[in-house]
Structure 1
Amino acid sequence: MELSFTFFAFAVPAVLFVGLSKGGFGNGAGFAATPFLALILTPGEAIGLLLPLFILMDVTALRAYWKQWHWPSARALMAGALPGVALGAALFSLIDGEMFKVMIGVVAIAFVAFQGVKKAGLLRPAARPMGQKAGWFAGMVSGFTSFVSHAGGPPASVYLLSQKLSKTEHQATTVVVFFVINLLKFIPYLALGFFSKTTLLVDVMLVPVALGGVMAGVWLHRVMPERLFFGFTYLFLLITGSKLILDGI
């Protein structure tokens, strides 16, 4: 990883976008930072660079939602996340970096497709709350997609929407679940060599950007239409996801 002007021209907007997403528009859109950074870094470097910053922002959000989560739902998702993270680690050790780029690109486009289906009303919450086994499966898929590209939101969201939680319970449960998933990813990322002295140095340098992005997101939440923000996000994901797939192939 070379700390050049080009690197920071990609890294600063990517981390800023994560902060904006977490601060004002939910966690999901922040995933766009991963495929963006993977355009100039190896997939391992991209997700390794972002993980400590994700954990920092998770801790900040966790304080605001402390003990407001729905524990049975959180417990089911976390239990399933462990084998999902293990599967992601096993696959990464078996495939090359170019195939991992393809996987990140596919997840990016699948994320946009999921949001489109949901907006069109084709995906509605289940009439009855999904059971514990469904929570385990959703957690496993979330753990895997989160390991690959920090994109575990959609599977967890499908399960949580079926639980008919309040807005605060939903957000708090999401926060605590992904805080735990991100902690679970830390050791495999370390073992696979995703962290280095350089990535940790860059993370320290980018902390003000991350925290500033969160504060800016809170302000933008009040003044910027949500449709405009997510419209830009989905277009961005389609472009970067397609580019990664083409590069990987």
Structure 2
Amino acid sequence: MSDPLTYYVCALTAVFITGLSKGGFAGIGVLAMPLLSLSVDPLMAAGIMLPILIVQDFHAVTAFRRHFDATVLKVMLPGMAAGVLTGFAFAEIVNTTLVLGAVGVISIIFGTQKLLNIGASNVINPSNNIIGAFLGIVSGFTSQIAHAGAPPYQLWVLPKQLPRDTLVGTTAICFTALNLMKVPAFIALGQLSATNLTYSLYLLPFALLSTFIGTKIVKKIEPDRFYFFIYFCLVILGFKLVFEAIAS
């Protein structure tokens, strides 16, 4: 670990970002892991963040508990479970850099198309449940290996143009379940050690505060502006994943 000041600056910023993400600004949370990894080992960072993500997830589910799309849950959750198992069992075999890079490219294409209103059709067919289940698997896999499950999930769910609160509530339920699925694997890998859990505990009050702020902001934003922001974040995250893949 770096010096305490650097750690807490990175950690508090990372937790604030994930709080906004769980509050409704889905996708930007993927920036938290690289930020926290500037001050601690990436495996330790993942272990510290998981309990925080779960607590923030439950807060978001509570805030939007009446708003969700059952079809998305039925399609996505089984795929996410399979993806987590795949990530745990085959992470050392599968070229994770290639997977994240491919997700990044698709995210850039899809997000740019939506921002610029190019073309009449979606890159991803939101009515095809087979595609949805496959992207659920990819989401579970990328979440297990890098806490980066949002982009694959968004590729299928965003084109559905769900009402703002329904999108936020559905996303909260999906990622609450997904992060809980990851707990056994993290325990088996030794990432939920007493040391990591202690660091998580210190950050929990700020984690809850940032999620509360995120939910309040989301409820005040017009749906069109909300979707524009999400698509913009998706493009930025896509470039981040591609650059990381190239650098590796």
Q: How high is the TM-score relative to the length of structure 1?
A: 0.77
Match of 1:160 among 152, 157, 163: 157
In structure 2, the CA distance between the partners of 1:93 and 1:2, relative to structure 1 (3 Å rule), is: farther
Cα deviation 1:112-168 (Å, max 9, x = unaligned): 735444423348547975233222112111111111222222222232234453333
Unaligned 5+ residue runs, structure 2? none
- 8 Å CA contact 2:139–2:151 kept in 1: the answer is yes
Would the aligned equivalents of 1:107 and 1:145 in 2 still touch at CA under 8 Å? Answer: no
1:204, distance to aligned residue in structure 2 (A): 0.7
Asked if residue 92 in structure 1 is aligned to residue 62 in structure 2, the reply is: no
Residue 192 of structure 2, aligned match among 185, 191, 195? 195
Match runs of 1:102-113 below 5 Å? 106=101, 110=105, 113=108
Q: Which residue of 2 aligns with 1:12?
A: 12
Does the alignment pair 1:147 with 2:144?
Answer: yes
Range that drifts further, 157-166 or 33-42: 157-166
Query: Alpha-carbon deviation of 1:6?
Result: 2.1
Q: Residues 202, 79 of structure 1: CA spacing in aligned structure 2 closer, same or farther, 3 A cutoff?
A: same
User: Percent identity, aligned pairs only?
Assistant: 28
1:35 aligns with 34
Using a 3 Å threshold, how does the CA distance of structure 1 residues 15 and 245 change in structure 2: closer, same or farther?
farther
Between the aligned partners of 2:162 and 2:82, the Cα distance in structure 1 is: 26
What is the CA-CA distance between 1:15 and the residue it aligns to? Answer: 0.7
Q: Which AA in structure 1 matches 2:183?
A: F
RMSD between superposed Cα atoms in Å = 3.6
Q: Please say if residues 104 and 241 of structure 1, whose CA atoms lie closer than 8 Å, have aligned partners that are also in contact.
A: no
Q: Quick check: 1:185 aligned with 2:182?
A: yes
Provide closer, same or farther for how the CA distance between residues 213 and 162 of structure 1 changes in structure 2, counting only shifts above 3 A: closer
C-alpha distance in 1, partners of 2:81/2:213?
Answer: 33
More deviation, 207-216/48-57: 207-216
Change in 2 beyond 3 A, CA 1:192/1:111:
farther
Letter in 2 for 1:35: P
Change (3 A) 1:128 1:152: closer
- Quote the residue 1:52 is aligned against: 51
More divergent stretch after superposition (232-241 vs 162-171)? 232-241
Q: Distance in 2 between matches of 1:233 and 1:134?
A: 19
- Residue in 2 aligned with 1:121? 117
For 1:56-110, what per-residue CA distance to the aligned partner results, in whole angstroms no more than 9, with x for missing partners? 0110111122253221221110111122111211233458xxx87x579848965
Determine the structure 2 residue equivalent to 1:75. Answer: 74
**Alpha-carbon distance in 1 for matches of 2:125, 2:137:** 21
Structure 1 245/164 Cα, relative in aligned 2: closer, same or farther at 3 Å? closer
Gapped runs of 5+ residues in structure 1? none
- What CA deviation, in whole Å up to 9, does each residue of 1:193-226 have, x standing for no partner? 2121111001110011111212333565559x97
